[in-house]
């Protein structure tokens, strides 16, 4: 998954948004470290991770901002989603309120007006089928209407976790190629870096 090919590395800023306890940190930890903890410490402020992904013959390096979910921390969020190439809006399929909150995040991102931002909707905790409150169809329809791509994920069982990041990487590369075929792509304002290594922090 993490790749160290000789190709150019594209940096992409990605932000995770969603309700308290939807599983934002767990998704990132699964993706970056391949780990899962049942009781993940609450995120205070925000946490930063990075991970590289090879897509065909190109490499995308995600700079991931994992934000705190509580409404009170909302005032800090714009700093993290501003200039982001991609966003994953996470909700918990066993909690209807978290889906409502996810919709609010989507609205806020859309109001930002950056149409190039790839927005993914992740219905997390897909392993909790018995206590499901948000139906797949409902989320799918919502995602289609709003031009998001949607997946149900489970950080616990690792279902679709790498897939959702892979899909984002693919779309980023496609979008970039379509828009700006000749020039090198800039997915975030940060300059490309030489080092290719999976690193992470604040777990």
Partner 1 sequence: MDKKKEVNDIEPGPDSSRSVDRFGFIKTEQSNSQEGVLKSRSTHERGREERRIRKWRKMIGAGGSDWKQYCRRNPHVVKRRIRKGIPDCLRGLVWQLISGSRDLLLMNPGVYETLVIYETSTSELEIIRDISRTFPSHVFFQQRHGPGQRSLYNVLKAYSVYDRDVGYVQGMGFIAGLLLLYMSEEDAFWLIVALLKGAVHAPMEGLYQPGLPLVQQYLFQFERLVREHMPKLGEHFIEEMINPSMYASQWFITVFSYSFPFPMTLRVWDVFLYEGIKVVFQVGLALLRFCHDDLVKLPFEELLHSLRNFPEDATDPDKLLPIAFSFKVLSHLEELEKEYRKRLEGPNASSSSKRLQPLKSKSMRRVGSQVLSNSNVGMATAFKAFVNSPVGPKTTHFWGPVANWGFVLAGLVDLNKPPEMISGNMTAAMCVYSGLFMRFAWMVQPRNYLLLACHASNETVQLYHLSRCAKAQGYLDKKVPEAQQ
Give me the residues that bind partner 1 (CB under 8 A), please. 20-21, 37-48, 50, 63, 68-70, 72-73, 75-76, 79, 92, 94-95, 125, 128, 130-131, 189-190, 193, 195, 199-202
CB of 6 to partner 1, least distance (A): 20
Containing 11, the helix (H) or strand (E) segment is strand 9-18
Of residues 23 and 175, the one with the C-beta less far from partner 1: 23
Exposure string over 176-194, b if 16+ CB within 10 A, otherwise e: beeeeeeeebebbeeeeee
CB of 149 to partner 1, least distance (A): 25
Of residues 10 and 148, the one with the C-beta less far from partner 1: 10
CB of 178 to partner 1, least distance (A): 28
Of residues 79 and 136, the one with the C-beta less far from partner 1: 79
Q: How many CB atoms lie within 10 A of CB 158?
A: 15
Cβ atoms of residues 68 and 76 within 8 Å: yes
Cβ atoms of residues 66 and 47 within 8 Å: yes
Of residues 31 and 175, the one with the C-beta less far from partner 1: 31
CB of 97 to partner 1, least distance (A): 8
Of residues 107 and 197, the one with the C-beta less far from partner 1: 197
Cβ atoms of residues 84 and 120 within 8 Å: no
User: How is residue 28 written in tokens?
Assistant: 């990132």
CB of 165 to partner 1, least distance (A): 17
Q: How many CB atoms lie within 10 A of CB 27?
A: 26
Q: HSE (CB half, 13 Å, CA atoms) of 131?
A: 8
């Amino acid at each position: 998954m993490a790749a160290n090919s000789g190709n150019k590395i594209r940096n992409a800023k990605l932000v995770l948004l969603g309700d308290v306890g939807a599983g934002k940190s767990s998704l990132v930890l699964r993706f970056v470290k391949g780990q899962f903890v049942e009781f993940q410490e609450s995120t205070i402020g925000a946490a930063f991770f990075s991970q590289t992904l090879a897509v065909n013959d190109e490499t995308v390096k995600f700079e991931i901002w994992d934000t705190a979910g509580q409404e009170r921390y909302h005032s800090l969020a714009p700093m993290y989603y501003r200039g982001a190439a991609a966003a994953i809006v996470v909700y918990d399929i066993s909690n209807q309120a978290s889906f409502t909150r996810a919709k609010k995040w989507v609205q806020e991102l859309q109001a930002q007006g950056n149409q190039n931002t790839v927005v993914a909707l992740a219905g997390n905790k897909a392993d909790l089928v018995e206590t499901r409150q948000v139906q797949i169809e409902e989320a799918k329809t919502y995602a289609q209407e709003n031009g998001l791509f949607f997946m149900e994920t489970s950080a616990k069982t690792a279902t679709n976790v790498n897939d959702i990041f892979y899909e984002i990487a693919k779309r980023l590369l496609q979008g970039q190629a379509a828009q700006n075929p000749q020039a090198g792509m800039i997915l975030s304002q940060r300059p490309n870096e030489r080092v290719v290594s999976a690193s992470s922090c604040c777990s």
